[in-house]
Structure 1
Amino acid sequence: MFDIGFWELLVIAVIALLVLGPERLPGAIRSTARTIRSIKSMAGNVKSELDEQLRIHELHENLRKAESASMKNLSPDVQKSVDELKAAAQSVNRPYAKKPTTTPPTDQEPKSDG
């Protein structure tokens, strides 16, 4: 990925040993490794989530194409059944549709006690 060879790694290790010292170098290596692992894990999670969303989007597109293609080439009997099902679905949903709530205008003003 970074195209770093053995000699470059050796130079980095020697510089890290000189800068950090032998006491702090193992902790720095562990911390760096832990950070790299967490970054790889997050990148893998993002990649898998994007793949899943792309797959879902692709399935929806294929389903829409299949529905539009099959709805155009229906026999009259099947088309009649589909129309009846749509009408039944609308009649079932009709009672649950929100009705506009209107309050009648009142000409009376509220009376005050004082």
Structure 2
Amino acid sequence: MFDIGFWELLLIMIIGLVVLGPERLPTAIRTVRNWVRNVKSFSQNVQSEIKEELRVHELHENLKKAEQANMENLSPEIAQSVAELKEAADMVNRPYADKKQNSSPSQPTEKQE
């Protein structure tokens, strides 16, 4: 990421020690460490979201190609994309199907008098 060697870090630590003093230096180091950690986490989140958006866009393009070919004689790549989309649709619909099955009892209950 940054091209900082040992001697540069040592110089920064000495300047920090002189400027901040020994009482505030550990707190400053923790604060900077947390900032760096937050920036890395944010960049990883953005990167994963971009990858997912590109994947969705690619699947959408493959679906358009499959629809234009009337879902016949599809290339393996497009057929795999269509299969992934069908799996995703089934997974989205599955919770609703489970709720319907759970809400309608399979056997009627008997009333006790």
* Length-normalised TM-score, structure 1: 0.60
> Following superposition, which runs of at least 4 residues in structure 1 exceed 6 angstroms of deviation?
none
Q: State the identity %.
A: 64
**Quick check: 1:52 aligned with 2:52?**
yes
* Residues in 2 aligned to 1:36 and 1:45: alpha-carbon distance in whole angstroms: 14
Deviation at 1:72, TM superposition (A): 8.7
Structure with the greater alpha carbon radius of gyration = 1
Give the aligned residue type for 1:65: K
User: Higher relative contact order at CA 8 Å, sep ≥6: structure 1 or structure 2?
Assistant: 2
Aligned to 1:64, what secondary structure does the other structure show? helix
SS in 1 for 2:2: coil
Alpha-carbon distance in 2 for matches of 1:71, 1:40 = 43
For structure 2, the 5+ residue unaligned runs are 74-113
Q: Structure 2 length normalisation: TM-score?
A: 0.61
Report the CA distance between 1:66 and its aligned residue.
1.4
Alignment RMSD: 1.6
The one-letter amino acid paired with 2:40 is K
- SS where residue 3 of structure 1 aligns? coil
CA–CA separation in structure 2 for the residues paired with 1:36 and 1:71? 49
Q: Which runs of 5+ in 1 are unaligned?
A: 74-114
1:8 aligned onto 2:27: no
Deviation at 1:27, TM superposition (A): 0.1
